[in-house]
Chain A
């Protein structure tokens, strides 16, 4: 079983996960999600108690292999079609907030 974690550890974890998921969370939200994530982890830990030794994990419910493209070429979208839902675009480009080479 998982060792109970301190509140501090929890809030650091949730901050890390939020950062990875690119979610800007307020302190109030961090508290709410922290609690929710705890419950999820408890649930997973409950599942982890089942002995699955020697059982192949299922990554896909369809037991098929080697599915390949047919080789034909599709008509691509036009730039106009591709850009029609973009909040900001310029010339043929999607425009995002400045992402500088870090």
Chain B
């Protein structure tokens, strides 16, 4: 079957759990990981009758940071709404979310596609909502733990601007880096801190129109599976279109054993959430806080990469690796500062990139190691030879002891050369040179 002639059209929805101290609408602690079930709950996050939610400002600020990092505009007026549906993970019968008045709208993020080409992905919205409880299915029952219920959750929705899985991969990676540099979430996909949903359809290459259907890939917990599911959908949908079949709006999941997607919900069963404004929560008017929040925001990976390239003359690849991990870039910048010009940015960068655990190294140690080790500099044979000759001349007695057979005496001569070179000489080369000199003069 010829699969050419079609292109993917993908829009993404990413959910990220914020790492605030308190839950979204109550004062329960969010520190529930590894704790016994139903120990971090109160009348609000249990949805008991009469309980009233109160907005967590820290979460709103984090949501704005994410929005601003994605070049969005913060709304002058923003509101929460009730998204109604019945499922035991939500004890209230609705989720407090945002619909018509999201906090941040209209942004973009640049990603690389499969040809390495940079494309702007438009961000439709970044809105605030709450997470649900966790269900465990056992036999004929479902066990419910509400510790996660009400954890602040931010949803980021793109326009259908992705046309290959590489762009999707790059987008997810960049978002994760942004969350981590902002310090708003650990964004650990394995732990479910960050979750992806994809709306996937295909169209003939060259067509600018959006297909009249889309398949929603949902409840896929691993990034690898999501990529596999998108690739599977591409083939399945093209095959269906080639056969003249009509594709419809539906929700599909991923079966890892069979390596295929499967129908979860058809069009007829599509949810009807009946959103309406949450009457218990007053409107947010926080656009005036943007100036202050921008001041508090750290430098983001993209800006860091630019600075490393322009100001420190690092190659793109090194700049990218360093900037992608805020701990690593911190070690890099501190080490560079401590080295006070004795080391080039590239030397420090290479050392960290080539270390397995660069991000956890002590900057002082990195500098010290570099200054005393091979990468530290003086490898020039003539210079080392000059210093070695000086050392032998100034320590004739020690040289004599070596020549008489006490070979360990060379250590003290190596020490002299290292001191003369201020620790910058290559120790192995120094030893070799001293041996040559001492043996030839005997």
Contact = CB atoms under 8 A, between A and B. Distances in A.
Given A64-B282, A79-B37, A79-B39, A98 B139 contact: yes
Interface string B53-73: 011111010000000000000
B136 A93 contact: yes
Contacts of B29: 73, 76
Interface string A70-81: 111110111100
Contacts of B274: 20
Nearest to A99: B142
B50 interface: no
Contacts of A101: 137, 219, 253
B87 interface: yes
Contact of A102 (B36, B38, B265): B265
A92 B38 CA distance: 6
A83 B145 CA distance: 11
A71 B58 CA distance: 9
B88 A99 contact: yes
B142 A98 contact: yes
B282 A92 contact: no
Contacts of B286: 66
B46 interface: yes
Given A98-B137, A99-B88, A76 B40 contact: yes
Given A69-B22, A99-B142, A79 B56 contact: no
A65 interface: yes
Interface string A30-71: 000000000000000000000000000001101011111111
A74 B46 CA distance: 14
Majority DSSP secondary structure for residues of B touching A: loop
A51 to B, nearest CB: 22
B37 A73 contact: no
Contacts of B228: none
B434 interface: no
A83 to B, nearest CB: 7
A2 interface: no
B374 to A, nearest CB: 52
B250 to A, nearest CB: 12
B282 A94 contact: no
A74 B88 contact: no
Interface string B110-150: 00000000000000000000000001110111111110000
A83 B36 CA distance: 13
Contacts of B22: 69, 71, 73
A76 B29 CA distance: 8
Contact of B57 (A65, A69, A74): A69
Contact of A94 (B38, B40, B56, B284): B38
A69 B143 contact: no
A99 B282 CA distance: 34
Interface of B: 21-22, 26-29, 36-43, 46, 54-58, 60, 79, 84-88, 93, 135-137, 139-146, 219, 253, 264-265, 272, 274, 277, 279, 281-286
27 contacts: A21-B86, A22-B93, A59-B277, A65-B285, A66-B284, A66-B286, A67-B282, A68-B55, A71-B21, A76-B39, A76-B42, A78-B39, A82-B46, A82-B146, A90-B141, A91-B143, A93-B37, A93-B144, A94-B88, A94-B144, A94-B145, A96-B142, A98-B140, A98-B141, A99-B87, A100-B142, A101-B137
Given A21-B86, A93-B144, 13 more contacts: A20-B85, A68-B56, A69-B57, A70-B27, A71-B21, A72-B27, A73-B28, A92-B145, A93-B143, A94-B143, A98-B137, A98-B140, A99-B137
Interface of A: 16, 20-22, 59-60, 62, 64-74, 76-79, 82-83, 88, 90-102
